[in-house]
Structure 1
Amino acid sequence: MNTVRQTRWFLALLRCLLVGTVIDSSSPSSIARSRSVISTVGNQAVLPCNWKSRLGEEAPPTCHIQWTTPADTVFELRGEHKWQAEEFEGRVEVPEESLGSGDCSLIISDVQIGDAGRYESFMVVDGVKSTKTRVFIQSVKLSVFDHKSLQSRGPGEDLVLDLYTQHSLRVVFQSRNSSQWSDLWMRGDEDSHRLEKHPEKEQLTVKRLHSSDEGTYKVLDEYGLAVSTVQLAVEESSTARRVHVVLDHQTPAGDAARSSCSALLLFWSLLVTSLQTLHLL
């Protein structure tokens, strides 16, 4: 009976420590310093911005908004003139119809892993003697996650791999009993008797699965970064279970990755310590 009580006590302590860690990492003071936005590859991200928070209610004669990263300017809008960085061409926009009401949010479409980072917005206003002054508006940290899933299929069934974005360049495969990766598909490849790219959707179908197809599939972009990872189990029809477990937000970029890793290490450290203590008791 004492052992049962001690086990419950240690598990309760472990839960408290973990909850405390989560609460501390998102304390109001840390949130107040910077805005944060989370997105997944292929989706849309909206980086909030409102120039009225810095310039007051009266709109300038011509709205001149800039969005930058530490490395370069991403987007610039001055009246009817627009400019976009090459890597964001056709993917970034500030809704002009909302500028008059103060909304200068940056909309990033078809978000990529490489888009992760810190963005800053500025309004360029007239200064003294016809000079221009850049007024800082908002800093936003964007975290971008890849897609992960666990799937199970029976022999002879098909596996549909979501590519999520036109920037997905290739699919690689690692067999369950191998440590080597092999190219399965490249964008531009012609369909084969077992691989078929959907004519409109960003999907690739692996047809008529068999046991040797069991393993890990990775969709990579043009920089070799993972867009998605699928772990596939191929089971006999009599025992196969239809499984499609999506593991969102598992591979954050930048600081988010380090935070996630630290939390995981803390969890295992606490768990091992508790089990060792119970063993001594």
Structure 2
Amino acid sequence: QKLLDVEPKNIHRYHITCLFHDSLCACLYSSALPSAANPVPVMTLVGSQVVLPCSWKDSQKEMSASGCHIQWMTPPYTVFEQLGEDRWQAAEYEGRVEVPLEKLNSGDCSLIIKDVQIGDTGRYESFLVVDGVRSQKSRVFIQSVKLSVTDHKSQKSLYPGDDLVLKLYTPHSFAVVFQSRNSSEWVNLWKRGDENDKRIEKHHQLEQLTIKNLQYSDEGIYKVLDEDDLSVSTIQLYITENSPSSRIQEKQQKILTDSAATSSCSALLLSVLLSCLQIIHLH
């Protein structure tokens, strides 16, 4: 159950019903706090860890770590709440969000989001829950943050016979699709739970996929998608005609062939010379 269930009254203060009747937040509100109209921009990549800043050191005079109530929202939905050691997380953020209690004690209410997903993109607002009038609780606005999450993008050039290693970046990666260089259609290559085969192999520990023994037909675009078909990564693959090792082998073979031809020619000349000497000797 959520720590709070509230309806907004205005952008800075809200009347709420507090489920923790014996808990108080000893915090003071300051009108100098950041405006919700000017969110702090934060950018990150899928699968990484991000910190949404929140500090109320300048606005509070005293604080009890066990009694301070912090709330993070993506309006109108609650993402995370913490009152002392009691925490609540929205289902889609389960196990991925926290506000460290030791930092909260020093005035740092920043929200840590682990394994960030494209779906986490949006506006986040933080609040403190304090005593209001008539024994009611009020929600005091602290900080607004605009989080932008983007997918990974890269290009690779490999050779026929090489292996392509695709990073999945997150356990939430669900499928890999492929678009050939000469096609506009997307083909499903892999989805989580598939068995490994001779061509495509999922690492048993790491979040990565290996496509073995590349051919020219494997040139194109590879996309890693999450369960909502949102892009985790996009890879443009180019297949180069000859690898350095192949060119070295060809050069070595040419040297051997030229050497053999030279040796054969030398042997023929020597044979002719010996024949001439024998004829002269007979005469």
So what's the TM-score if we normalise by structure 1? 0.72
Which residue pairs with 2:93 in the alignment? 88
Counterpart-to-counterpart distance in 1, 2:42 and 2:58? 19
Of 151, 155, 162, the residue aligned with 1:157 is 162
Distance in 1 (CA, whole Å) between partners of 2:181 and 2:106 is 56
Asked if 2 retains the 8 angstrom alpha-carbon contact of 1:53 and 1:137, the reply is: no
Q: One-letter code of the match for 1:127?
A: G
Q: Select which of 227, 233, 242 maps to 2:238.
A: 233
In 2, Cα distance between equivalents of 1:236 and 1:35: 48
Distance in 2 (CA, whole Å) between partners of 1:45 and 1:190 is: 33
- Does structure 2 retain, via aligned residues, the 8 Å contact 1:171–1:185? yes
Q: Give the letter for the 2:38 counterpart.
A: R
Describe the shift of the 1:183–1:67 C-alpha distance in structure 2 as closer, same or farther (beyond 3 A). Answer: same
**C-alpha distance after superposition, 1:123-157 (max 9, x if no partner):** 00122332111110000000111000010100000
Do structure 1's residue 58 and structure 2's residue 74 form an aligned pair?
A: no
Higher helix share: 1
Q: Secondary structure at the match of 1:114?
A: helix
State the partner residue of 1:113. 118
**Equivalent residue for 1:97, pick from 71, 80, 102:** 102
Whether 1:72 and 2:77 are equivalent positions in the alignment is yes
In structure 2, stretches of 5+ residues that fail to align are: 1-34, 246-283
* TM-score normalised to structure 2 length: 0.71
State the Cα distance separating 1:239 from its structure 2 match. Answer: 6.9
- Once the two structures are TM-superposed, the CA of residue 238 in structure 1 deviates from its matched residue by 4.3
Alignment partners' CA distance in 2, 1:50 and 1:190:
48
Q: Look up the SS of the partner of 2:175 in the other structure.
A: strand
> Match of 1:261?
none
Is 1:126 equivalent to 2:115 in the alignment? no
Structure with the greater alpha carbon radius of gyration: 2
1:146–1:227 contact (8 Å) kept in structure 2: yes
Q: Secondary structure at the match of 2:238?
A: strand
Quick check: 1:44 aligned with 2:49? yes
Partner of 1:178: 183
Question: 1:205 maps to which residue?
Answer: 210
Counterpart code for 1:77 = Q
Does residue 192 (structure 1) correspond to residue 197 (structure 2)? The answer is yes
Unpaired segments ≥5 residues, structure 1: 1-29, 241-281
CA distance in 1, matches of 2:39, 2:180: 43
Q: 2:151: which partner in 1? A: 146
Q: Would the alpha carbon gap of residues 132 and 231 (structure 1) be closer, same or farther in structure 2, given more than 3 Å must change?
A: same
Look up the SS of the partner of 1:143 in the other structure.
strand
Secondary structure at the counterpart of residue 53 of structure 1: coil
Q: Which amino acid aligns with 2:63?
A: A
| Identity percentage of aligned residues | 66
Q: Structure 1, residues 54-96: CA drift from partner, whole Å, max 9, x if none?
A: 3x23115711000001231000001221100000000000011
* d(CA) in 2 for partners of 1:71, 1:158: 47
- Deviation readout 1:196-216 (Å, 9 max, x if unpaired): 001111000000101111110
The residue matched to 1:157 in structure 2 has which SS?
coil
